Amino acid sequence: MRVLLPSGGETQPFPWREAMAIGFGVLKLSSREFWALTPRELAAAIEGLTGRTPAPMNRATFEDLSRRYPDQAQTER
């Protein structure tokens, strides 16, 4: 199984080791319960523990922040 990155980049292998560590170690799932979950169900359970990840900043917000807080002070020529 591979995971498509949200940025549209290359796919990555599904992080089974991390998923099992959370499923067995944190959520205390049995093997039967863990392997019966879909990846979306596991993600929802993890989200319940960690909270929802906010959406990435959109272009308009980024450009607004860039104008208000430039990397360098603007100088006149």
Q: Cα 30–50–42 angle (5° rounding)?
A: 35
Confidence of residue 55 (pLDDT cuts 50, 70, 90): confident
Whether residue 65 has pLDDT greater than 80: yes
Give me the amino acid identity at 67: R
What pLDDT shows up at residue 7? 60
d(CA 46, CA 77): 54
Predicted TM-score (pTM) of this structure: 0.55
